[in-house]
């Protein structure tokens, strides 16, 4: 009888052993580190703020700083909830699109070689906010999918819908 009471007490009141096995602190720290690093690197490389490493040739719009913050936030959330069943391809694609949308069009040497300066300013520059928005949308879907798979792994649910509605029976 005492062992039954003791086991029910342990289930109702988890002890320090359960806390030590929980990896939420490690996950939160990983997500915070990825988010802050992504914010600093993305903001510096795209010269959203003045820095001695990169000079921006076009003025920074207010939406570019917001897109930088949202990109870093979504990247951090995805990194915090990542489980081995997750695919980071969508988040990386969204991050690349967001980077190209935030970055100065005339500072990007690859785009400058392919299209030339006048074409970049005439055709690509007006599309940059839309490209950044599309990248954030893709990263949002990737974060949502990662969250669903994270929950499925935590609860032991084996029937997880993938990003295209495919059954993910391989989730363990």
What percent of the chain has a predicted confidence (pLDDT) above 70?
A: 78
Q: Residue 61: inside a domain, yes or no?
A: yes
Q: Residue 13: inside a domain, yes or no?
A: no
- Look at residue 108 and give its three-state secondary structure: coil
How many domains does the structure of the chain reveal? 1
Token pair for 128: 């940059």
- How distant is the alpha carbon of residue 111 from its chain centre? 25
The whole-number average pLDDT for the span 107-136 is 86
- State which residues form the domain around 39: 19-168
CA atoms within 13 A on the CB side of 136: 19
Q: Residue 3: inside a domain, yes or no?
A: no
Q: What is the pLDDT of residues 72-102, one digit of tens each?
A: 999 999 999 888 777 788 888 999 999 999 9
Residue 4 has pLDDT above 80, yes or no: no
- Alpha-carbon distance of 120 to 104, in angstroms, equals 10
- Alpha-carbon distance of 145 to 18, in angstroms, equals 27
Choice between 160 and 56, residue whose per-residue pLDDT is larger: 56
Q: Residue 12: inside a domain, yes or no?
A: no
Q: Residue 14: inside a domain, yes or no?
A: no
Q: Residue 153: inside a domain, yes or no?
A: yes
- Look at residue 53 and give its three-state secondary structure: coil
- Alpha-carbon distance of 14 to 17, in angstroms, equals 8
Residue 164 has pLDDT above 70, yes or no: no
Mean residue pLDDT across the chain: 80
**pTM value?**
0.75
């Amino acid at each position: 009888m005492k062992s039954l009471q003791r086991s029910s007490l342990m289930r109702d009141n988890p002890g320090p052993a359960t806390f030590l096995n929980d990896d939420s602190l490690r996950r939160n720290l990983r997500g915070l580190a990825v988010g802050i690093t992504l914010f600093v690197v993305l903001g510096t490389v795209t010269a959203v703020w003045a820095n001695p490493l990169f000079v921006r040739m076009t003025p920074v719009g207010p939406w570019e700083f917001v897109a930088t913050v949202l990109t870093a936030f979504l990247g951090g959330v995805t990194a915090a909830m990542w489980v081995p069943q997750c695919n980071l391809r969508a988040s990386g694609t969204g991050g690349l699109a967001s980077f190209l949308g935030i970055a100065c069009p005339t500072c990007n040497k690859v785009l400058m070689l392919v299209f030339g300066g006048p074409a970049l300013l005439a055709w690509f520059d007006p599309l940059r906010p839309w490209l950044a928005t599309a990248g954030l949308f893709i990263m949002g879907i990737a974060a949502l999918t990662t969250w669903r798979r994270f929950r499925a792994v935590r609860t032991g649910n084996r029937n997880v819908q993938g990003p295209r509605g495919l059954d993910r029976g391989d989730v363990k």
